[in-house]
């Protein structure tokens, strides 16, 4: 009997992507793991004040979990924090950015599909979002590389219609085509966004270089706005829906903290 019970346990690292109340005192956790991809497990009793596991399965926590196979849902039996990402938790804007990153991972992945590069990218991004002064820079880097990891790497060098190389003049981003069109092909197209040479240079830089180099980039406000609009439109097009976390980021920027805070805190859970 002993060997059977051992086979029914497995250990994995995980980042907590999502938490939902389940039953009286439990939480249903959506995890992102290096070897199993996205998976859902039950954490029993974690909503009780005295729960020992509770602190180790908070949103964004990088934890080491021991999980028992269950008939319908697997169950967390032990949890130990590896990284708690306190800087993200202490700052509401950082929290909203991390929440957006987690929502992207959740929406762009299927359960049970391993994607180690995406796990590594997401883990790195949580450090960057706790650390960066200009939060939009790591977020754009994360979006671009996440899209690469899940098969939607935007084409930024060649026109997707006439295949000519894109020069550093005004070009057009087409969500439908998944990348750039040259000025000749793009200006006749509906649903394309004009891309300035500065925004294009930034996108290319972020797509092709390591974050260690990219974090030194200085991007001005208008270019950031342009890039955010472009990436959001592409992502909304791919997912065929808007993300909830985008509303939180926007509300915080408009300084509507009073309305955003309780909803965000409720989602993050404690
Ligand atoms: Zn063209």
User: Alpha-carbon Rg of the chain, whole angstroms?
Assistant: 20
Residue 153 CA to ligand 1 center (angstroms) comes to 19
Q: Is 125 helix (H, G, I), strand (E, B) or coil?
A: helix
Q: What is the chain's mean pLDDT, rounded? A: 91
Residue 174 CA to ligand 1 center (angstroms) comes to 12
Residue 170 CA to ligand 1 center (angstroms) comes to 12
Q: How far apart are CA 164 and CA 135, in angstroms?
A: 34
- The tens digit of pLDDT for each residue in 10-64 reads 999 999 999 999 999 999 999 999 999 999 999 999 988 888 888 898 999 999 9
Report CA dihedral (38, 39, 40, 45) to the nearest 10 degrees.
-100
Residue 193 CA to ligand 1 center (angstroms) comes to 14
Angle between helix 244-253 and helix 257-268 axes, rounded to 10 deg:
140
Residue 194 CA to ligand 1 center (angstroms) comes to 14
Residue 196 CA to ligand 1 center (angstroms) comes to 16
Contact between 27 and 269 (Cβ < 8 Å): yes
Two tokens, residue 232:
């959001």
Secondary element (H or E) of residue 249: helix 244-253
Residue 208 CA to ligand 1 center (angstroms) comes to 22
Residue 166 CA to ligand 1 center (angstroms) comes to 8
Strand partners, 37: 33
Residue 161 CA to ligand 1 center (angstroms) comes to 5
Residue 191 CA to ligand 1 center (angstroms) comes to 16
Q: How far apart are CA 208 and CA 39, in angstroms?
A: 30
Enumerate residues with CB within 5 Å of ligand 1 (an ion): 159, 161-162, 182, 185
Residue 146 CA to ligand 1 center (angstroms) comes to 26
List C-alpha distances in Å: 30 to 69, 149, 188, 196: 15, 19, 43, 39
Among 233, 110, 242, 107, residue whose Cα is nearest residue 178 = 233
Least reliable range by pLDDT among 157-161, 181-185, 258-262:
258-262
Q: How far apart are CA 77 and CA 68, in angstroms?
A: 7
Residue 184 CA to ligand 1 center (angstroms) comes to 6
pLDDT of res. 5: 53
Q: Is 256 helix (H, G, I), strand (E, B) or coil?
A: coil
Q: How far apart are CA 223 and CA 98, in angstroms?
A: 22
Q: Indicate the pTM of the whole model.
A: 0.91
Q: Output DSSP code: residue 55.
A: G
Residue 239 CA to ligand 1 center (angstroms) comes to 26
Beta-sheet strands, E only, within 69-108: 74-83
Strand partners, 32: 15, 38
Pairing relationship of beta strands 26-33 and 62-68 according to DSSP bridges: unpaired
Residue 158 CA to ligand 1 center (angstroms) comes to 8
Contact between 122 and 32 (Cβ < 8 Å): yes
Residue 53 CA to ligand 1 center (angstroms) comes to 56
- The tens digit of pLDDT for each residue in 202-260 reads 999 999 999 999 999 999 999 999 999 999 999 999 998 778 888 888 888 887 666 77
pLDDT of res. 168: 74
Residue 71 CA to ligand 1 center (angstroms) comes to 55
Residue 4 has pLDDT above 60, yes or no: no
Residue 155 CA to ligand 1 center (angstroms) comes to 13
């Amino acid at each position: 009997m002993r060997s059977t019970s051992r086979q029914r346990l497995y250990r994995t690292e995980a980042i907590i992507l999502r938490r939902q109340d389940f039953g009286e005192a439990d939480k249903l956790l959506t995890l992102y793991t290096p070897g199993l991809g996205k998976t859902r497990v039950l954490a029993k009793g974690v909503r009780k004040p005295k729960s020992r596991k509770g602190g180790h399965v908070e949103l964004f926590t990088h934890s080491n979990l021991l999980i028992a196979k269950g008939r319908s849902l697997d169950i967390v039996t032990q949890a130990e924090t590896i990284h708690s990402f306190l800087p993200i938790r202490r700052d509401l804007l950082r929290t909203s950015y991390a929440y957006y990153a987690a929502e992207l991972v959740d929406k762009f992945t299927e359960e049970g599909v391993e994607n180690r590069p995406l796990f590594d990218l997401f883990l790195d991004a949580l450090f960057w979002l706790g650390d960066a002064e200009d939060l939009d820079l790591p977020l754009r880097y994360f979006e671009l590389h996440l899209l690469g990891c899940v098969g939607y790497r935007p084409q930024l060098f060649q026109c997707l219609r006439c295949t000519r190389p894109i020069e550093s003049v005004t070009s057009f981003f087409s969500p439908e085509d998944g990348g750039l069109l040259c000025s000749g092909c793009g200006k006749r197209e509906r649903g394309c966004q004009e891309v300035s040479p500065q925004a294009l240079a930034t996108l290319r830089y972020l797509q092709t270089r390591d974050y260690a180099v990219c974090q030194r980039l200085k991007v001005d406000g208008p270019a950031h706005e342009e890039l955010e609009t472009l990436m959001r439109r592409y992502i909304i097009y791919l997912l065929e829906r808007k993300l909830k976390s985008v509303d939180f980021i926007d509300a915080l920027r408009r300084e509507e903290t009073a309305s955003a805070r309780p909803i965000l805190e409720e989602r993050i859970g404690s």
